[in-house]
């Protein structure tokens, strides 16, 4: 049997490398979560904007706005969480994940 020397650091690089790998993995996870939140917010805003424009066009053509809003928001990968016709204007909200975006459109 070979006696180990006191203060032998053999294998310590592996522990340090594992610690660095864990820290980098954690940082990557946080960055991906932030990026996903940003993407969901952008997707919700695009869906709300497009839905509001489609609803305003439907109102201008004498149709109900909300069915068209629902169709357009769903086609953009979001869920309609609000649709209100206010005179000639349409106010909508679209949800993607936890992100909610609102938009309003009407005649110019």
Residue ranges of domains in the chain: 12-105
CATH class of 12-105: alpha beta
Residues 6+ apart with CB under 8 A from 65: 55, 56, 58, 59, 83, 85, 90
pTM equals: 0.78
pLDDT band at 107 (very low <50, low <70, confident <90, very high): confident
> Rounded distance, CA 7 to CA 2, Å?
15
On the question of pLDDT at 1 being above 60, the answer is: no
Copy the structure tokens of residue 95: 């949800």
Band (pLDDT 50/70/90 cuts) for residue 6 is low
């Amino acid at each position: 049997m070979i006696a180990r020397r006191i203060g032998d650091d053999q294998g310590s690089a592996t522990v340090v490398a594992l610690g660095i790998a864990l820290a980098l993995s954690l940082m990557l996870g946080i960055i991906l979560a932030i990026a996903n939140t940003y993407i969901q917010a952008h997707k919700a805003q695009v869906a709300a904007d497009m839905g509001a424009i489609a609803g305003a066009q439907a109102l201008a053509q004498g149709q109900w706005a909300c069915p068209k809003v629902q169709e357009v928001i769903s086609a953009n990968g979001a869920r309609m969480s609000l649709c209100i016709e206010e005179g000639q204007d349409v106010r909508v909200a679209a949800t993607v994940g936890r992100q909610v975006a609102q938009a309003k459109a009407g005649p110019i």
